[in-house]
Structure 1
């Protein structure tokens, strides 16, 4: 698979930056096509996928737990004074739940996931590339793309939706903690208000788009690591640019997916 070569220099011109941007987009496209080809051909390396789901997903639970709790707390505390002006504090549980389910939990979880996982994949595969471990796998008749890339991308695609559901629950509980600090509201009332406010059309689109975000995190990190060059400096660049590109693509695709969601479910608008 022939991928575009990026230009590295201490002084890049504007033309060089444009070239690198276009080369990255075209390289990611070719890399994604190769992933699709390899992903549907056995063997499927199920054990490696499980291993990476544990390493990349389960070990991310502490940071997303704290993030989810803070999201719910801050959203509820910031919204309460505004709703109190209009005597609409009864709508606070529903507002927190809808905001978290539709947008905040999927996007913020994906960005946190990108910061931890995409950089890790980029650094790991980049180190293997510059130390010629990937070349050694090719010589040993092992398909490095399938073993290193496909397994990690599938793992990130599958684990991020599960993390998002977890963050949604934690954030809603965080909202309840903020509510009981500001006013007396029973958990039963809060729970019923949350359940009443969330519909199928709210939950499914918000979680479904995290499959796309998980794929972006995995494919960008794997691409930057797999194509790293230039020794340890190249590994550092692969790790850094993995986070930047994956975060940017998550925000861009979120904007597109929100528009598609509103088109498919007009009642959400």
Structure 2
């Protein structure tokens, strides 16, 4: 069953057609890669799904519900989380505080409850801390919880973003170049993390330029060029598609 469906999605910026009538599905419990050359429209698609941009036309459905035009925080509450191509952490806050920021979207206690320190607010804070600890353990950062985010290595900052996204309790997570800045060992570990996310029942949509990672972890690939979808299928099919080889991988590529 499709968890996310894009139908004829189009977005323009002035005279530039960034996304041109794109349609594809992400099934529940799957890992899908969205690939293409720089400027193909991949991050624009992400921004349309998460409400950062509003499409000019087309529709977006999540779990059968139309989400086009919803505010970003409502989309998060529905169960869609994301990381960013350019890291967006609270650099002068601790690792733990960054993950707790993700937990707060599920908290119901109001400002006055927090000010008065009510029993309900204390229970929610306790649950949030427990959730943050679990997510830091999940991505391998449990021993870093007191460090400032800015003091982490670049690769660990990427993992912290993933932990914060998972703390929102998503059903669907969008990862924008999560291997950026990672060394080979960190990238290999990331493959296991992405699979473990899927094994938790969370569907994954991934942008990544590391084709080795993409081919190993994704079950389906969607390929864009100049904002248009040019190919869709399993990694074994995509890597033999002449349109993909020419447009993205290069005519002499061997992957």
Q: Tell me which interval the TM-score lies in, with the shorter structure as reference length.
A: under 0.3
TM-score normalised by length of structure 2: 0.24
How does the TM-score come out when normalised to structure 1? 0.23
Task: Name whichever structure is richer in strand by fraction.
Answer: 2
Q: Say which structure, 1 or 2, has more relative contact order (CA 8 Å, 6+ apart).
A: 1
Instruction: Say which structure is richer in helix.
Output: 1
Compare CA radii of gyration and give the structure with the larger one.
Answer: 1
